[in-house]
Amino acid sequence: MKRISRLLSDRLALLSLAVLAAIAAAGMLAPWLAPHPPDEVNMALRYGPWSLHYLLGNDQLGRCVLSRILYGIRPSVLLVLAAVLASVLIGAAVGMAAGYAGGRTDALLMRLCDVMLSFPGYVMTLAVIGVLGVGLQNILLAFILMKWAWFARIVRSSVRQIADADYVRFARTLGTGSLAILFRHILPVCVPELAVVASSSFGSTLLQVSGLSFLGLGIQAPQAEWGMMLSEARQSMFSRPELMLAPGLMIVLTVSAVNFLSDAMQQAVDPQAGSSKRHQPERAEAALIGREVA
Amino acid sequence: MIRYAARRLLTAVPLLLVISFLAFLLQQLAPVDPAEAVLHAQGVPQVTSELIAQKKAELGLDRPLLRQYASWLASSVQLDFGLSYVTGKPVWSLLGPAFMHTLQLTAVSAAAIILLSVALGVYCALREDAWPDRATRGAAFLLTAMPPYWLAAWLVWLFSVKLDLLPTSGMDSAASFVLPTAVLAVGYAGVYFRVIRSSMIAGRNEDYVLYGRANGLTERAITRRVLANSLQVAVPMFGMAVPILLGSTVVVENVFAWPGLGNLSVKAILGRDYPVIQAFVLLLASSFVVFNAVSEVLSGLLNPRLRKDL
């Protein structure tokens, strides 16, 4: 609770949270908010300027840019968020199992994680898309396949630290079942750290997924997606550079908000990290490097 | 020390074997029959089932899986990855030159990243929380939130189209390196300099710094020593940056039409050219493991305490 109130007292964090909530809501309400259907082609309005009817103008096929941006929130943000959450859940389950069971199970699961993590992220993604074919589902599947190991490691190391704590031993002595101990006494302790790492990984995943869509490996036309809109805008980059503005700025806005929030959570979880009084290189830097540049 | 290095490098071998097996399995999972694809690539006009069976026997595809893996591994080690399904040329004749081009870009970018992050990290640590520090961190925050291809497109628009200073794409001269390197360097240095900065700031509060000051060491000398200690964090980080860079130049290569691995792999995926994809995965994953081991050995060299683990 203290951590949450500390987080809410940070105005920048609150603002970031509001921005992200607004983006998510806009994505979910896109059919009602969008002024035009996102794939309505109107050749008479090609490269139309900003106007009252088309607030952000029209693209190379005369489609409404604002509507495409709104519909693009779904694949670009919401689906990526779902994929990150899925990998967090799988990772947490594996990590808790490994950390709590210990012994052989632990060793086996952690070796598996080592192998998964020894594949560089991009290569793994390209390998999965290479086998399964292009498409957003396959990219997200690749991310889930790859990222769970990273979360499993983090959860496992927190669980290992807590599994032998006095209060956990006490609960066990009282005859509390393993599952109850895991969910009531161990999981809540891991959540804050997991939230920090998951949020910073959300930002980098969003950038990477949009990059793969930009390369034409993700969502296919005529669906609206920010990376894809940028790839279309690039075709006319020399004559109409302004088409690159809206989708690019939306990505920058979303990722900045996510990163701000993640930094604020890091501060709330561990106020000392990053300040000069006490130094915890492992944690602060793990979160930073975990952000993995796209 | 030599024993430590040898042991650490040896622990990479089982991992390499697992990785190569996974890369081998990739082709088994692919929905294309290799024998049929090879026949098509060789331009055989009529692909009959007898021809496929004959080709299968010729390629050894009718043998048990592990036997196939062994022979595939043996030829892969000699850089024989078979023939491309699309062009029919040996895979290495495509992959080799592309790898060299990407390696060049990676080497130049890695140098730029290291210089930039150390310089910015030290500069910001010395001016902790003063305006230059805040401004740098703010700029880095914004730049790392940008999609690299978007930044790249704007740089091309500004420097190549409006100012006409640099080439838009290709790899013809030293000037071609400027923009791709800048995009890669900004993305990575924007993250790494923060690590150096925070470790320098923490280092400045160590007792040896106080002792050095008490003994009248100049600030310059103290900074040098603190930096030397911060490099302990930085060396493994930079060591891993090289293979990560190798794999993630994909987007940047595509924007600048760089004739490297990134372009080749995207083309291979779109063309379903499995032998190329497989070789690409094997090559990058192995270099990842090897660089990881080498950077750990380097850290051990810098900090003898780390050697005790093995």
Measured CA to CA in angstroms, residue B176 lies from A32, B27, B113, B168, B170 at distances of: 47, 36, 17, 8, 7
pLDDT band at B223 (very low <50, low <70, confident <90, very high): confident
**Residues in B touching A203 (Cβ below 8 Å):** 145
- Selection from A42, A73, A229 nearest residue A53 by Cα: A42
Q: Please write the tens of the pLDDT for every residue from B241-270.
A: 777 787 778 888 888 888 888 889 888 888
Domain boundaries, chain A: 9-20+53-293
Dihedral angle sign, alpha carbons of residues B196, B202, B204, B209: negative
Kindly state the percentage of chain A with pLDDT values over 70.
Answer: 89
Q: A14: buried, middle or exposed (CB in 10 Å: 19+, 13-18, 0-12)? A: middle
- Give, for A199, the enclosing helix (H) or strand (E): helix A187-214
Given B15, B146, B195, which is nearest A288 (Cβ)? B195
> Where is pLDDT greater, at A6 or A59?
A59
Which residues have a Cβ under 8 Å from the Cβ of A224 and sit 6 or more positions away?
A38, A39, A67, A68, A69, A71, A72, A75
Please report the pLDDT score of residue A84 as a whole number: 92
ipTM: 0.80
Reply yes or no: is the peptide bond before residue A281 cis, omega within 30 of 0: no
Q: What is the mean pLDDT of residues A12-23?
A: 89
How near does any CA of chain B get to the CA of A168, in Å?
30
> Where is pLDDT greater, at A96 or A238?
A96
A72 interface with B at CB cutoff 8 Å: no
Q: What is the rounded CA–CA span in Å between residue B184 and residue B190? A: 10
Please report the pLDDT score of residue A90 as a whole number: 93
pLDDT over threshold 70, residue B148: yes
Rg of chain A over CA atoms, in angstroms?
22
What is the rounded end-to-end Cα distance, in angstroms, of chain A? 34
Asked whether the beta carbons of residue B202 and residue A279 sit closer than 8 angstroms, the reply is: yes
How near does any CA of chain A get to the CA of B238, in Å?
11
Under 8 Å between Cβ of B196 and B233: yes
pLDDT band at A291 (very low <50, low <70, confident <90, very high): very low
Other CB atoms within 10 A of residue B216 CB: 7
Task: Delineate the domains of chain B, giving CATH numbers in brackets.
Answer: 2-77 (no CATH), 93-270 (1.10.3720.10)
Query: Which residues does residue A64 pair with via DSSP β-bridges, in sequence order?
Result: A58
Q: Please write the tens of the pLDDT for every residue from A58-67.
A: 777 778 888 8
Please report the pLDDT score of residue A88 as a whole number: 93
Q: What is the rounded CA–CA span in Å between residue B128 and residue B269? A: 47
The CATH architecture one would assign to domain A9-20+53-293 is Orthogonal Bundle (1.10)
**Residues in B touching A118 (Cβ below 8 Å):** 15, 19, 285, 288-289, 292
Q: In chain B, count H helices and then E strands.
A: 13, 0
pLDDT band at A1 (very low <50, low <70, confident <90, very high): low
What integer best gives the mean pLDDT of chain B?
Answer: 83
Please report the pLDDT score of residue A287 as a whole number: 43
Q: Please write the tens of the pLDDT for every residue from A139-157.
A: 899 889 888 888 898 888 8
A-to-B residue pairs, Cβ atoms closer than 8 angstroms: 167
- Between positions 116 and 155 of A, the ones with CB within 8 A of B are 118-123, 126-127, 129-131, 133-134
> Where is pLDDT greater, at A47 or A169?
A169
Other CB atoms within 10 A of residue B60 CB: 11
B198 interface with A at CB cutoff 8 Å: yes
pLDDT band at A115 (very low <50, low <70, confident <90, very high): confident
Please report the pLDDT score of residue A81 as a whole number: 92
Q: In chain A, count H helices and then E strands.
A: 14, 0
> Where is pLDDT greater, at A254 or B3?
A254
Query: Which residues does residue A58 pair with via DSSP β-bridges, in sequence order?
Result: A64
Please report the pLDDT score of residue A86 as a whole number: 94
Q: What is the rounded CA–CA span in Å between residue B310 and residue B41? A: 49
Asked whether the beta carbons of residue A241 and residue B157 sit closer than 8 angstroms, the reply is: yes
Under 8 Å between Cβ of B281 and B26: yes
pLDDT over threshold 70, residue B218: yes
A32 interface with B at CB cutoff 8 Å: no
Q: For residue A215, what is the DSSP state?
A: T
Q: Please write the tens of the pLDDT for every residue from A208-259.
A: 888 888 888 888 877 888 888 888 888 887 778 888 888 889 999 999 999 8
Q: What is the mean pLDDT of residues A104-126?
A: 81
**Residues in B touching A285 (Cβ below 8 Å):** 195, 198-199, 233, 237
Given A114, A118, A207, which is nearest B147 (Cβ)? A207
Reply yes or no: is the peptide bond before residue A222 cis, omega within 30 of 0: yes
Q: Which residue has the tokens 């009718």?
A: B62
pLDDT over threshold 60, residue A275: no
pLDDT band at A176 (very low <50, low <70, confident <90, very high): confident
Measured CA to CA in angstroms, residue A245 lies from A34, A233, B255 at distances of: 19, 9, 17
Nearest residue in chain A measured CA to CA from B283? A123
**Residues in A touching B161 (Cβ below 8 Å):** 238
Q: What is the rounded CA–CA span in Å between residue B184 and residue B111? A: 11
Which residues have a Cβ under 8 Å from the Cβ of B297 and sit 6 or more positions away?
B4, B5, B8, B9
Query: Which residues does residue B90 pair with via DSSP β-bridges, in sequence order?
Result: B83
Q: What is the rounded CA–CA span in Å between residue B244 and residue B265? A: 15
Q: Please write the tens of the pLDDT for every residue from B44-80.
A: 777 777 877 877 777 777 778 888 888 888 888 888 8
What integer best gives the mean pLDDT of chain A?
Answer: 81
Q: What is the rounded CA–CA span in Å between residue A87 and residue B8? A: 31
Under 8 Å between Cβ of B268 and B278: no
**Residues in A touching B147 (Cβ below 8 Å):** 207, 210-211, 214, 227, 230, 248, 251-252, 294
Q: Which residue has the tokens 């959300």?
A: A202
Asked whether the beta carbons of residue B244 and residue A293 sit closer than 8 angstroms, the reply is: yes
pLDDT over threshold 90, residue A191: no
Nearest residue in chain A measured CA to CA from B252? A211
Helix (H, G, I), strand (E, B) or coil at B310: coil
Q: Please write the tens of the pLDDT for every residue from B12-25.
A: 888 888 888 888 88
Q: What is the mean pLDDT of residues A30-59?
A: 77
Phi, psi of A64, deg, nearest 5: -75, 115
Cα torsion at A86, B288, A108, A187 (round to 10°)?
Answer: -40
Helix (H, G, I), strand (E, B) or coil at B308: helix
How near does any CA of chain B get to the CA of A33, in Å?
26
- Between positions 161 and 180 of B, the ones with CB within 8 A of A are 161
Two tokens at A184?
Answer: 């009531």
Q: What is the mean pLDDT of residues B220-246?
A: 81
Q: What is the rounded CA–CA span in Å between residue B233 and residue B240? A: 12
Q: Please write the tens of the pLDDT for every residue from B118-147.
A: 899 888 988 888 888 888 888 888 888 888
pLDDT over threshold 80, residue A282: no
Kindly state the percentage of chain B with pLDDT values over 90.
Answer: 1
Please report the pLDDT score of residue B112 as a whole number: 92
Helix (H, G, I), strand (E, B) or coil at A229: helix
Please report the pLDDT score of residue A272 as a whole number: 55
Give the residue from A77, A131, A145, A234 with the most B CB atoms within 10 Å of its CB, the best one to mutate. Answer: A131
- Between positions 157 and 196 of A, the ones with CB within 8 A of B are none
Please report the pLDDT score of residue A87 as a whole number: 93
